[in-house]
């Protein structure tokens, strides 16, 4: 939604792989064909920090020499969410039409959305009232040619998202399947797969003391056939609308039953 008197679109681009990652620049270059692009991103890799924000430390912001001419870029000593919040609060201000995060090196499917810094950055824009798009692809496909094709796709979607003039903002999580782009089957709207990952704990010893390592394994390919993990495995690009409230789908009746008489019990 361009404000009055402002016709040029403006897109904030961030990520969690750091400001010098190939994915963010490929994406920014394609987006710069349809909008003024400003990159505000963490100064280093920050994967799997989710929507973490830094409340007790100064967030230093530095304009960097862009890797592509004409794209302003600022690095932030903070998390992906810090970068987006600082960008919208100070560096750019609120005159932004869309927040795009990525391209992440590694897909963000199913319950990944809860820990992904890529999704976290986009979500931080969404939570502040902007439409947002997170873009991720499979780790092993990270060649320059592939990234530019994914970027072109993401930019098409971004252009439509802005042009649609939607009545409310939207947050979309976009993932590429593990295929060359010319072998991709198509595009599907997908749900989030549940029970998609499992965290296990492994024990180690460094010679002085023992420690634990959290291991996050992707499990369960037997997910719902409308879910992102299933459809990605079938070779589709997936778009998953993620809602603001994680409890959106909880049937109210279940919750009502759960809390029925609770207060009375407390008062007794």
Residues near Mn ion (CB under 5 A): 16-17, 47, 104
For Mn ion, give the closer residue by CB, 48 or 179. Answer: 48
Picking from 121, 111, 100, 79, the residue whose alpha carbon sits closest to that of residue 198 is 111
- Nearest residue to Mn ion, by Cβ distance, number only: 47
What are the residue ranges of helices labelled H in 39-100?
80-86
**What is the β-pairing status of strands 98-105 and 132-137?**
parallel
Q: Of 47 and 169, which CB lies nearer to Mn ion in the complex structure?
A: 47
**34 vs 114, which CB is nearer to Mn ion?**
114
Instruction: Specify burial of residue 127 (Cβ count, 10 A radius: 0-12, 13-18, 19+).
Output: middle
Please give the structure tokens belonging to residue 243: 């809602």
| Shortest separation between residue 136's beta carbon and Mn ion, angstroms | 8
Q: How far is CA 124 from the centre of its chain?
A: 9
Q: Closer CB to Mn ion, residue 16 or residue 43?
A: 16
Distance of closest approach, residue 47 Cβ to Mn ion, in angstroms: 3
Q: Say if residue 103 is preceded by a cis peptide, omega within 30 of 0.
A: yes
Helix axes 22-31, 144-163, angle to 10 degrees: 50
Q: How far is the CB of 122 from Mn ion (least distance, A)?
A: 12
- Identify the DSSP state of 112: G
As measured in angstroms, the least distance from the Cβ of 104 to Mn ion is 4
8 A C-beta contact, residue 10 and residue 36? yes
Smallest distance, Mn ion to C-beta of residue 142, A? 11
Going by DSSP bridges, is the β-strand pair 98-105/72-76 parallel, antiparallel, or unpaired? unpaired
Nearer to Mn ion, 107 or 196 (CB): 107
Check if the beta carbon of residue 137 is closer than 8 Å to that of residue 175: yes
Nearer to Mn ion, 107 or 131 (CB): 107
18 neighbors 64 (Cβ within 8 angstroms): no
Q: How far is the CB of 77 from Mn ion (least distance, A)?
A: 17
């Amino acid at each position: 939604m361009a404000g009055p008197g402002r016709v040029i679109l403006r897109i904030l681009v961030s990520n969690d792989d750091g400001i010098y990652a190939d994915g963010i620049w490929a994406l920014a270059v394609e987006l710069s064909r349809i909008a003024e692009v400003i990159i505000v991103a963490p100064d280093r890799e920050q994967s799997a920090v989710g929507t973490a924000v830094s409340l007790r430390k100064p967030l230093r912001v530095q304009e960097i020499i862009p890797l592509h001419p004409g794209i302003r870029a600022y690095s932030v000593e903070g998390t992906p969410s810090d970068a987006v919040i600082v960008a919208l609060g100070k560096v750019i201000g609120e005159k932004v039409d869309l927040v795009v995060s990525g391209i992440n090196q590694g897909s963000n499917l199913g319950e990944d959305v809860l820990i992904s810094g890529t999704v976290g950055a986009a979500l931080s824009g969404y939570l502040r009232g902007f439409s947002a798009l997170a873009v991720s692809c499979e780790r092993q496909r990270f060649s320059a040619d592939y990234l530019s094709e994914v970027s072109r796709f993401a930019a098409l979607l971004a252009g439509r998202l802005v042009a649609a003039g939607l009545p409310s903002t939207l947050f979309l999580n976009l993932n590429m399947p593990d295929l060359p782009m010319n072998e991709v089957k198509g595009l599907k709207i997908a749900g989030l797969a549940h029970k998609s990952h499992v965290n296990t704990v492994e024990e180690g010893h460094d010679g002085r003391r023992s420690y634990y390592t959290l291991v996050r394994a992707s499990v369960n390919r037997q997910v719902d056939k409308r879910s992102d993990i299933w459809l990605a495995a079938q070779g589709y690009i997936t778009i998953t609308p993620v809602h603001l409230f994680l409890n959106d789908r909880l049937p109210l009746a279940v919750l009502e039953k759960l809390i029925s008489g609770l207060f009375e019990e407390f008062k007794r």
